Amino acid sequence: MPTFGLGVFDVKDQGVITDSIVEFGYRHIDTAKVYGNEELVGKAIADAIKAGVPREELFITTKLWRTEYSDPVQACKDSLERLNLDYVDMYLIHWSIPELESDQKTIKKTPMHKVWEGMEACVEQG
């Protein structure tokens, strides 16, 4: 895993991402579903690969958003489709806190141990 990465929160220019990979040597790209730009990031990665950067040199991170805690496997598949990739190198739980009811004590949605089971299923399913 590269020690320095490019976070693409709020990046809307595909060329910035491609240039960061091809011209400036970034190899870790950090995105997330909630950023709303996974498709753009995927296109930039494809352009970088076409420009000669091997996929194996890239370390791509994306994240599970809490509205998708109930089905991490499907959420990961959706991210892969948006990124147009066969795999990501790291899939994280974004803001790994459960949504709570108004009493701030009752878990509103999927408990974290169930989310974790879904994350492990992502690994098991490849």
Catalytically active residues are: 35
Question: Does residue 91 sit in helix, strand or coil?
Answer: strand
Q: Which residues contact 95 (CB under 8 A, 6 or more apart)?
A: 65, 66
93, β-bridge pairs = 64
* Residue 111: alpha-carbon gap to chain centroid: 21
61, β-bridge pairs = 30, 90
- Cβ(18)–Cβ(51) under 8 Å? yes
DSSP letters of 29-53? Answer: EE--GGGT-HHHHHHHHHHHHHTT-
